[in-house]
Amino acid sequence: MSASLPGGVFERVLNELGSAILSGEMDEGHRETVDSLVWKTGASRSVVREATRVLVSLGLLKAGRRVGLRVLGHHEWNTLHPRVVRWRLASPDRARQLSELRDLRHAVEPEAARLAALRRGDGQVTALLRATAELGDARDDPERFLHADRKVHGLVLASSGNLMFARLQGVVDEALRDRAFGPNAVAEVAHHDLTLHYLLVEAIKDQDAPRAHATSREIVERAFLD
Protein backbone atom coordinates (compact mmCIF):
# COMPACT_ATOMS: atom_id res chain seq x y z
CA MET A 1 0.00 0.00 0.00
CA SER A 2 1.26 3.47 -0.81
CA ALA A 3 2.27 5.45 2.28
CA SER A 4 0.09 8.34 1.10
CA LEU A 5 -3.13 6.31 1.23
CA PRO A 6 -5.40 6.58 4.28
CA GLY A 7 -4.84 3.24 6.02
CA GLY A 8 -8.29 2.96 7.58
CA VAL A 9 -10.14 3.70 4.35
CA PHE A 10 -7.87 1.43 2.33
CA GLU A 11 -8.38 -1.49 4.73
CA ARG A 12 -12.14 -0.94 4.74
CA VAL A 13 -12.36 -0.95 0.95
CA LEU A 14 -10.03 -3.92 0.58
CA ASN A 15 -11.98 -5.95 3.14
CA GLU A 16 -15.34 -4.97 1.64
CA LEU A 17 -14.31 -6.00 -1.86
CA GLY A 18 -12.43 -9.12 -0.79
CA SER A 19 -15.35 -10.25 1.35
CA ALA A 20 -17.84 -9.54 -1.46
CA ILE A 21 -15.87 -11.80 -3.80
CA LEU A 22 -15.32 -14.61 -1.29
CA SER A 23 -18.97 -14.52 -0.16
CA GLY A 24 -20.24 -14.83 -3.73
CA GLU A 25 -21.86 -11.40 -3.69
CA MET A 26 -19.51 -10.64 -6.60
CA ASP A 27 -19.36 -14.09 -8.17
CA GLU A 28 -17.06 -15.52 -10.83
CA GLY A 29 -17.27 -13.54 -14.06
CA HIS A 30 -18.81 -10.48 -12.41
CA ARG A 31 -17.46 -7.27 -13.95
CA GLU A 32 -16.78 -3.87 -12.43
CA THR A 33 -14.88 -0.72 -13.25
CA VAL A 34 -12.83 1.47 -10.96
CA ASP A 35 -15.49 4.18 -11.35
CA SER A 36 -18.30 1.83 -10.31
CA LEU A 37 -16.32 0.72 -7.25
CA VAL A 38 -15.59 4.33 -6.33
CA TRP A 39 -19.36 4.92 -6.35
CA LYS A 40 -20.12 1.74 -4.38
CA THR A 41 -17.46 2.19 -1.71
CA GLY A 42 -17.48 5.97 -1.42
CA ALA A 43 -13.68 5.95 -1.51
CA SER A 44 -11.29 7.88 -3.71
CA ARG A 45 -10.00 6.52 -7.03
CA SER A 46 -6.48 6.16 -5.60
CA VAL A 47 -7.75 4.00 -2.72
CA VAL A 48 -9.92 1.86 -5.01
CA ARG A 49 -7.10 1.41 -7.52
CA GLU A 50 -4.68 0.30 -4.80
CA ALA A 51 -7.26 -2.09 -3.32
CA THR A 52 -7.96 -3.64 -6.72
CA ARG A 53 -4.22 -4.05 -7.34
CA VAL A 54 -4.00 -6.10 -4.14
CA LEU A 55 -7.02 -8.18 -5.17
CA VAL A 56 -5.43 -8.79 -8.59
CA SER A 57 -2.22 -9.93 -6.87
CA LEU A 58 -4.28 -12.36 -4.75
CA GLY A 59 -5.91 -13.86 -7.86
CA LEU A 60 -9.39 -12.57 -6.99
CA LEU A 61 -9.62 -10.07 -9.84
CA LYS A 62 -8.26 -9.76 -13.35
CA ALA A 63 -7.77 -6.32 -14.87
CA GLY A 64 -7.91 -5.53 -18.57
CA ARG A 65 -8.08 -2.40 -20.70
CA ARG A 66 -11.31 -3.29 -22.46
CA VAL A 67 -12.98 -5.55 -19.90
CA GLY A 68 -12.30 -3.57 -16.73
CA LEU A 69 -12.17 -5.73 -13.63
CA ARG A 70 -13.43 -9.32 -13.75
CA VAL A 71 -13.93 -11.58 -10.72
CA LEU A 72 -11.98 -14.84 -10.96
CA GLY A 73 -13.00 -18.27 -9.72
CA HIS A 74 -11.61 -20.02 -6.65
CA HIS A 75 -9.09 -22.01 -8.71
CA GLU A 76 -7.22 -18.72 -9.29
CA TRP A 77 -7.20 -17.49 -5.68
CA ASN A 78 -4.03 -17.40 -3.59
CA THR A 79 -5.62 -19.60 -0.94
CA LEU A 80 -2.46 -19.60 1.19
CA HIS A 81 -2.56 -15.84 1.71
CA PRO A 82 -3.73 -14.89 5.23
CA ARG A 83 -6.23 -12.32 3.90
CA VAL A 84 -7.88 -14.90 1.65
CA VAL A 85 -8.02 -17.38 4.55
CA ARG A 86 -9.65 -14.73 6.77
CA TRP A 87 -12.23 -13.78 4.14
CA ARG A 88 -13.10 -17.43 3.48
CA LEU A 89 -13.57 -18.05 7.21
CA ALA A 90 -16.10 -15.19 7.26
CA SER A 91 -17.89 -16.43 4.14
CA PRO A 92 -20.48 -19.15 3.39
CA ASP A 93 -17.43 -21.28 2.47
CA ARG A 94 -16.34 -21.32 6.14
CA ALA A 95 -16.86 -25.07 6.67
CA ARG A 96 -14.72 -25.95 3.65
CA GLN A 97 -12.01 -23.51 4.73
CA LEU A 98 -11.93 -25.01 8.23
CA SER A 99 -11.66 -28.50 6.74
CA GLU A 100 -8.80 -27.42 4.49
CA LEU A 101 -7.03 -25.71 7.40
CA ARG A 102 -7.35 -28.90 9.42
CA ASP A 103 -5.84 -30.94 6.57
CA LEU A 104 -3.01 -28.45 6.07
CA ARG A 105 -2.14 -28.23 9.75
CA HIS A 106 -2.23 -32.02 10.14
CA ALA A 107 0.13 -32.39 7.20
CA VAL A 108 2.58 -29.65 8.18
CA GLU A 109 2.74 -28.90 11.91
CA PRO A 110 3.51 -32.38 13.31
CA GLU A 111 6.25 -32.84 10.71
CA ALA A 112 7.59 -29.35 11.47
CA ALA A 113 7.69 -30.26 15.17
CA ARG A 114 9.52 -33.52 14.40
CA LEU A 115 12.11 -31.67 12.33
CA ALA A 116 12.41 -28.93 14.97
CA ALA A 117 13.34 -31.57 17.55
CA LEU A 118 16.13 -32.77 15.25
CA ARG A 119 17.39 -29.40 14.02
CA ARG A 120 16.64 -26.77 16.67
CA GLY A 121 19.39 -24.54 17.99
CA ASP A 122 19.88 -23.46 21.60
CA GLY A 123 18.57 -19.99 20.81
CA GLN A 124 15.38 -21.42 19.37
CA VAL A 125 14.83 -23.56 22.46
CA THR A 126 15.26 -20.48 24.65
CA ALA A 127 12.73 -18.55 22.53
CA LEU A 128 10.23 -21.43 22.70
CA LEU A 129 10.56 -21.70 26.48
CA ARG A 130 9.93 -17.96 26.82
CA ALA A 131 6.92 -18.15 24.52
CA THR A 132 5.33 -21.00 26.48
CA ALA A 133 5.92 -19.07 29.71
CA GLU A 134 4.04 -16.16 28.09
CA LEU A 135 1.21 -18.57 27.25
CA GLY A 136 0.80 -19.52 30.89
CA ASP A 137 0.90 -15.91 32.06
CA ALA A 138 -1.70 -14.86 29.48
CA ARG A 139 -4.25 -17.68 29.82
CA ASP A 140 -6.89 -15.25 31.16
CA ASP A 141 -6.21 -12.57 28.53
CA PRO A 142 -7.36 -13.72 25.04
CA GLU A 143 -5.39 -11.06 23.14
CA ARG A 144 -2.13 -11.77 24.95
CA PHE A 145 -2.69 -15.51 24.76
CA LEU A 146 -3.24 -15.35 21.00
CA HIS A 147 -0.03 -13.33 20.62
CA ALA A 148 1.96 -15.92 22.60
CA ASP A 149 0.24 -18.86 20.86
CA ARG A 150 1.16 -17.45 17.45
CA LYS A 151 4.71 -17.04 18.66
CA VAL A 152 4.97 -20.69 19.79
CA HIS A 153 3.56 -22.10 16.55
CA GLY A 154 5.66 -19.74 14.45
CA LEU A 155 8.84 -20.68 16.29
CA VAL A 156 8.14 -24.39 15.80
CA LEU A 157 7.66 -23.86 12.06
CA ALA A 158 10.86 -21.78 11.88
CA SER A 159 12.84 -24.24 14.02
CA SER A 160 12.03 -27.01 11.52
CA GLY A 161 14.66 -25.49 9.24
CA ASN A 162 12.23 -25.78 6.33
CA LEU A 163 11.74 -22.36 4.75
CA MET A 164 8.51 -23.45 3.06
CA PHE A 165 7.01 -24.55 6.38
CA ALA A 166 8.05 -21.22 7.91
CA ARG A 167 6.19 -19.36 5.13
CA LEU A 168 2.95 -20.96 6.30
CA GLN A 169 3.01 -19.09 9.60
CA GLY A 170 0.48 -16.52 8.33
CA VAL A 171 -2.02 -19.28 7.51
CA VAL A 172 -1.57 -20.89 10.94
CA ASP A 173 -1.93 -17.43 12.53
CA GLU A 174 -5.36 -17.05 10.92
CA ALA A 175 -6.44 -20.48 12.16
CA LEU A 176 -5.35 -19.55 15.70
CA ARG A 177 -7.08 -16.17 15.48
CA ASP A 178 -10.32 -17.81 14.39
CA ARG A 179 -10.05 -20.33 17.23
CA ALA A 180 -9.66 -17.46 19.71
CA PHE A 181 -12.12 -14.92 18.31
CA GLY A 182 -14.17 -16.59 15.57
CA PRO A 183 -17.80 -17.80 15.71
CA ASN A 184 -16.78 -20.95 17.64
CA ALA A 185 -14.27 -19.23 19.90
CA VAL A 186 -13.32 -21.09 23.06
CA ALA A 187 -14.37 -19.17 26.16
CA GLU A 188 -11.29 -20.15 28.16
CA VAL A 189 -8.05 -22.03 27.63
CA ALA A 190 -8.29 -25.67 28.72
CA HIS A 191 -5.57 -26.79 31.10
CA HIS A 192 -4.85 -29.80 28.87
CA ASP A 193 -4.33 -27.58 25.82
CA LEU A 194 -1.84 -25.45 27.71
CA THR A 195 -0.05 -28.53 29.04
CA LEU A 196 0.26 -29.93 25.51
CA HIS A 197 2.14 -26.80 24.43
CA TYR A 198 4.56 -27.23 27.36
CA LEU A 199 5.04 -30.91 26.45
CA LEU A 200 5.67 -30.00 22.81
CA VAL A 201 8.42 -27.56 23.70
CA GLU A 202 9.94 -30.04 26.15
CA ALA A 203 10.01 -32.70 23.42
CA ILE A 204 11.75 -30.29 21.04
CA LYS A 205 14.19 -29.29 23.77
CA ASP A 206 14.94 -32.99 24.50
CA GLN A 207 15.30 -33.70 20.76
CA ASP A 208 12.59 -36.35 21.05
CA ALA A 209 11.27 -36.24 17.48
CA PRO A 210 8.51 -38.91 17.77
CA ARG A 211 7.10 -37.28 20.92
CA ALA A 212 7.23 -33.83 19.32
CA HIS A 213 5.35 -35.15 16.28
CA ALA A 214 2.66 -36.91 18.37
CA THR A 215 2.16 -33.93 20.70
CA SER A 216 1.84 -31.48 17.82
CA ARG A 217 -0.68 -33.77 16.15
CA GLU A 218 -2.79 -33.84 19.32
CA ILE A 219 -2.67 -30.03 19.55
CA VAL A 220 -3.96 -29.74 16.00
CA GLU A 221 -6.70 -32.32 16.56
CA ARG A 222 -7.95 -30.56 19.67
CA ALA A 223 -8.06 -27.24 17.81
CA PHE A 224 -10.84 -28.61 15.60
CA LEU A 225 -12.94 -30.42 18.19
CA ASP A 226 -15.85 -27.92 18.10
Q: Three-state DSSP class for 171?
A: helix
> What is d(CA 222, CA 91) in angstroms, rounded to the nearest whole number?
23
pTM of the model: 0.90
| Contact assessment for residue 168 and residue 104, using Cβ atoms and an 8 Å cutoff | yes
Helices 7-23 and 45-57, packing angle to 10 deg: 50
pLDDT, average across residues 39-59: 96
Average pLDDT over residues 188-208: 91
**Secondary structure (3-state) at 130:** helix
* pLDDT (tens digit per residue) in 77-136: 999 999 999 999 999 999 999 999 999 999 999 999 999 999 999 999 999 999 999 999
The dihedral built from the CA positions of residue 123, 180, 82 and 79, taken in this order, carries a sign that is positive
The fold for domain 7-76 equals Arc Repressor Mutant, subunit A (1.10.10)
Kindly report the CATH number that applies to the domain delimited by 82-223: 1.20.120.530
Q: Return the pLDDT at 3.
A: 35
| Across 13-37, average pLDDT | 95
Burial code (b: 16+ CB inside 10 Å, e: under 16) for 8-17 equals: ebbebbbebb
**Domain spans of the chain?**
7-76, 82-223
Whole-number pLDDT of residue 19: 96
Instruction: Give residue-wise pLDDT tens across range 28-42.
Output: 999 999 999 999 999
pLDDT value of residue 201: 97
Cα–Cα distance, 165 to 32 (Å, whole number)? 37
